[in-house]
Structure 1
């Protein structure tokens, strides 16, 4: 998906209000979902609404936080490790090194898995309630994981992604991870937009259309052959040309050295100069841009699945999948096994 000089009119879309939200577990993911909703084609939006339970009203923003709300449920215990990816030997800010090794249990692999599920059920509509539930789970996990993979500390294992890195936020004690999960966003909304998340979102869309346009035009460009790797979903996702989670995680990992861990000090007040550096003009409104980037890429993939230029009835992928078998794996979702 390449951008034109104008965006899809946001005013005509119904967006979920996030004024009452108090943490990134909801706010950050809600915002990525809202951005994505703006870039869905009408046909994709229609199919998304059919997949999601009526509670969500067809809104990705409302579905996006769900995977964080079910972590304690035994049924979804398998999913907790899919929210991040660790990199052996990674030690920011001295050295940021991302060499992906397939483990079957990380956010990169999770995105391949969920995309494969969505595509499978697009090519063969689910019939049973169990399959319909699995498809909805896949969409909710996909939307959430797209947000997670664009949070830099979800692409670094140092100090458990910053969870074990103490820091100060004004007079409060916090961690580097919590700062990036929500405190930067909340303060940015408060300081620049009078505590109005809707104004923050509108500004993000405007920035994408203007300030970030030269680079935003290429946010959805990737080379899938470099991002498939050794995983069970390589074949079933290879024609989804916008799906490049390894590349995205590598980009986020580099930001860990450039910005996130730079001059780390547990006694530093991160609500001052550090905050200004990563949310302000000096570094091109980085935090806000990552949210926009996640949403735009999310929409591009969903459009490719649900409203492709070539109808799925004539998509060569249908022919490739027709002889495949479905096998159970030791967690809730199922994968396509090449055979």
Structure 2
């Protein structure tokens, strides 16, 4: 399958009113989709439901894990390297390095590609069953890649993004990547939310309007022009003012250095102090914040594509949809 590369530009901006083994866990992807769903406009929500197969019930949370389920299929082999980004010279925690080269195939190019494809079919409309299939795949990949990019170890190539960095998790063997993909999220839900993922989600949405303010109000603001040099997608995506994957990857790469890889020790139990620092109040509930950030940015981009007539806003209003 190939995605559109030559596209018609969109118009007004509308913000929301409200490595093969590198796979962000199913729960993490589901949560990013649930956050995004709360910040879609009604019109965007309608069009998303129209794009997705009936199986998904119009829910981004159900579509988000799909790209990890098809990695073994020959039809989608081309997408296996689009879940992460590695840059030469990056060696955390000693050296953070994100000088991005657009000639590569990675999650950044993947996000540009899928966004451009969605924009193309919004402008022209699919005319064949194949077009509709390509459009649906683009949406499912887009939602998934947004989650991947906000997991710091998807922006660090060291030891395959931590997959080959052994750790201890309680009495079991684990690795640094798996801890960030799923184990910290699951333990946080179990320990602080009595095994209730909905309470975990509701708390994240609540924190956008208190603990994470005013930072959260600026999560969807960026300047796509900063990285336009050598960007083959710039002309087709420049009007989407909330699409800045290079900027996000740079931030996540810095976080991989300053936090994820800091004081790495294969003999340390990462379910203790490390877990508390990553999920607790000391660092602003970091794991939850990254999930929420991904979902809000996801919704903002989809609203720009599917509901551009809504008025320009200076800030995202964190109003949960019913």
Q: TM-score, normalised by structure 1?
A: 0.84
**Structure 1: how far apart are the matches of 2:293 and 2:136?**
23
CA apart distance, 1:309: 3.1
CA apart distance, 1:2: 6.8
Q: Does 1:263 align with 2:245?
A: no
**Structure 1: how far apart are the matches of 2:199 and 2:226?**
38
The answer to whether the 8 Å contact 2:111/2:146 transfers is: yes
The answer to whether the 8 Å contact 2:15/2:301 transfers is: no
The answer to whether the 8 Å contact 1:25/1:68 transfers is: no
**Structure 2: how far apart are the matches of 1:2 and 1:94?**
38
Give 5+ residue unaligned stretches, structure 1: 9-22, 312-339
Q: Deviations over 1:212-240 (max 9, x none)?
A: 12000100000000133424322111111
Q: Residue 56 of structure 2 corresponds to which residue in structure 1?
A: 56
Q: Which contiguous aligned blocks of 4+ residues in structure 1 show a shift greater than 3 angstroms?
A: none
Aligned partner of residue 157 in structure 1, secondary structure: coil
Q: Residue 177 of structure 2 corresponds to which residue in structure 1?
A: 177
Q: Residue 95 of structure 2 corresponds to which residue in structure 1?
A: 95
Aligned partner of residue 208 in structure 2, secondary structure: helix
Q: How does 1:128-147 map to 2 (within 5 A)?
A: 128-147=128-147
Q: Residue 84 of structure 2 corresponds to which residue in structure 1?
A: 84
Q: Deviations over 1:173-200 (max 9, x none)?
A: 0000000000010000000000110000
CA apart distance, 1:115: 0.3
Greater RCO, 1 or 2 (C-alpha within 8 Å, sep 6+): 2
Cα RMSD of the aligned pairs, angstroms, is 1.5
The answer to whether the 8 Å contact 2:167/2:266 transfers is: yes
Q: Deviations over 1:156-175 (max 9, x none)?
A: 11111001100000000000
Q: Deviations over 1:243-289 (max 9, x none)?
A: 00000000000101111001000000000000000100000000000
**Structure 1: how far apart are the matches of 2:56 and 2:81?**
25
**Structure 2: how far apart are the matches of 1:57 and 1:132?**
17
The answer to whether the 8 Å contact 1:104/1:231 transfers is: no
CA apart distance, 1:72: 0.3
**Structure 1: how far apart are the matches of 2:72 and 2:203?**
35
CA apart distance, 1:209: 1.5
CA apart distance, 1:210: 1.2
The 1:164/1:229 distance shift into structure 2, 3 A limit, reads: farther
Aligned partner of residue 214 in structure 2, secondary structure: helix
**Structure 2: how far apart are the matches of 1:213 and 1:42?**
25
CA apart distance, 1:125: 0.5
CA apart distance, 1:298: 0.2
**Structure 1: how far apart are the matches of 2:79 and 2:15?**
33
Q: Residue 226 of structure 1 corresponds to which residue in structure 2?
A: 226
Q: Residue 40 of structure 2 corresponds to which residue in structure 1?
A: 40
Q: Residue 274 of structure 2 corresponds to which residue in structure 1?
A: 274
Aligned partner of residue 173 in structure 2, secondary structure: strand
**Structure 2: how far apart are the matches of 1:205 and 1:198?**
11
Aligned partner of residue 218 in structure 2, secondary structure: coil
The answer to whether the 8 Å contact 2:24/2:151 transfers is: no
CA apart distance, 1:26: 1.1
Give 5+ residue unaligned stretches, structure 2: 1-13, 312-322
Moved more, 197-206 or 231-240: 231-240
Q: TM-score, normalised by structure 2?
A: 0.89
**Structure 2: how far apart are the matches of 1:286 and 1:142?**
23
Q: Residue 186 of structure 1 corresponds to which residue in structure 2?
A: 186
Q: How does 1:98-137 map to 2 (within 5 A)?
A: 98-137=98-137
